Structure 1
Amino acid sequence: MQTSSLVFESEEAVAPGDPGDLAADVRRAGMDLALQGHRGDDVSARMAELEHCARQWARLGLGLDRLQQAVHQGYRAGSDRAYAVAPLTDTDAAIVAARRHLDLLEAVHVRLTRAYTRQLPAPVDSHQAAARNVAVALLRGELAGPLARHSGIPISARYHLVAIGLPRSAERDAAAPVVAARITAALTSRCGEGALSILGADGGTLLIPYEAVREGELHDLVADLAALTPNPPTAVVVVAEPAELPDAGRQAHELLETAMSLRIAPGLYPISELGLYFQLTRPGPARDVLHALLDPLEDHPDLLQTLGAYVDNDFNRRRTAGELHVHPNTLDYRLKRVHRMTGCDPATASGLWRLRSAMVVRRYTGRR
């Protein structure tokens, strides 16, 4: 048939990888569904493929509205192609075809919604709500003991307080409740009932009992939890006793905000690693001096870009040159120009320290 060339080459279900691949799979299956439905073919395989995609979509924590939108995009494209190849001039035939398409859309939305919702985690129960209230009380410095005893939640003598920040995205906002439920469930499974969390669309705070994580395992635990989020988070950790949690929480989130503003690479950072960044970005004469250090480069964006890449790549010449797609000698020439214009020599430790500090300040104030 003439319409067979319109169907994608492979009509087998694809195991989706990242969200972009999955959305493409959904659109392709929606297109195939429209084409096959228009011809009156059996669409059970396409329905099963879309249900599989819906379950994957829910497991990734993506919103149901975006799933339905992807289905409609593919279905609309398939319908347009089908009618373009074989336009219906008979009114009765057109009505029959339109009803067939409406029935198909109704069926696919019912089955996709059912597959998606069945994959979602169970609703938050009263125990999880109590655990959240205990965490709130601890972080506010309020009396948490009675509520904890009533709920059977042990309070640890020390906690790893982890402040987590999630990068902004449409998928993150739509998936926030699902992601929060998964992280909470995974944290409880790994660390017991004493592990507490307060999570929202922007991230939140984890209180992990100190004794629940052995030395060196915290990074692995946070990496496992990060795998449950649509985008890799940035996190700051500090160890504190219950009475110290309010101050520790404020400090950790201040440092996290600084790290997010500077777009530091995602990962888990001890509070000691970010202290210098925090001090450099506080208002005052020192920050103003560092900010002004790079003013001579304002009219030379290539030099600012080169210096930024050199700092980000930990002063590795070859890696920086490769990232900028220039020869290492070109990189050296640009760094010499930076030296002449700023008075700071990137070839010396003191010059590098001042340039790096100035870049941190400029990036922070620019982001703010």
Structure 2
Amino acid sequence: MEEWTATFAPPSDEEIAQLARSSRTNLSLPYASKGEESPETQADLEEAWRRYVEIYFRMLTLRRLPTPDEVAELERIARRRLHQSVELVDLQRAFRAGARLLLTLALERVAPQDAGAVATATLKFADIMSTAAERAYLDEQRSLAETHRDVAATLALRLLRREISPSDPALEDGPAHRFEFGRPYTLVEIASAVSSGVRRAAQQAAPARLSSSLRGILPFALEVCPAPDTVVLVVPGDSATGLVRLLSDAISAKPEFADIRIGIAAPQVGLRKLVTAHEQATRARALGEILVPAVRVHRWEEMEKIDVFARGDSIVGLVESFVGPLIDHDRRKGTQLTKTLATFLDTGGNRKAAAGKLTIHINTLDYRLRQIRGLLGEDSISPGHFTLHLALRLYPLYESRPEAAAARVGR
């Protein structure tokens, strides 16, 4: 900083306190003049302004810019302003108005020939402090937003896992969780295709990788992972058609997403409708894989029109009658017999092709087929067994039922 040509007469601590008290009422700042602050906030505002004045005059007295500790102190003050509901524009206005007032007070204490140097120092002071305060305010705002998003995501996850009921009083639609469930939103479910056989680690991770790649395109979407191989996105807005195009382009861009299938629910309003939206998205994805396997992104509003299996009881009866023992064995033993048989029949009974698709050795396939025969009977692996094959094709719909999803989560 420039040296003064004459002696600078710094104010005493008592004078600084008096200056702070008298000058703050002249700032006419929106958050300082409404008279709506609590006594604690009022005291904090007054102390912050006193420190601002003190740091400023210390800078002029010692002829040096604010120290890192002094800047850090103003940053902490800026972070508190966010929690006191002070808008950033008001905070910035406070620094500008405060700097002008401080310059007026300082010019009363310096020789006329030093006025230019004091003005330059004041501009630097205001720039340093306002920049630091703005940065701290925005950092605190981002941190707070992330915390609130975590709360919203945890609440949504508990709801999708049926840990809390949609009728729970805690499920308010307002902005309390910083996600506007009171406005239209569209739920998207991303998972690997069931018909792709046993889900290898790479396949299980693919939905999460796709979701990560979408963050730049859907920055305001709420991400929830109800199962290790499934990602749910809650996207603000009701443009399901636009989401179909966006998601179709995203999964077509990389071979690693070849096995990804996506279901999109009808737009909903209200946190309590999240479960309904999830059921729609899950069923749309499962129906699409069965009825139109060449398409990879499915809207519930379209799939509902061709849902020839609308009565879930008939699906449950058919699937459990023909492959119930396999499903029970898989759940108890952690095996993959149901998917193994489905893959074997899908490949027309070609053992080499089935083993390749399942990424297992052909001897492992033969061992599983012997287990399947033992559970279902000798003719169970015949490619000509139409009803059994149909039951296996309906297995994704069977698994998409809420009670089946709950059973998977509990395993």
The TM-score range, normalised by the shorter chain, is 0.3 to 0.5
TM-score by length of 1: 0.37
Structure number with greater Rg is 2
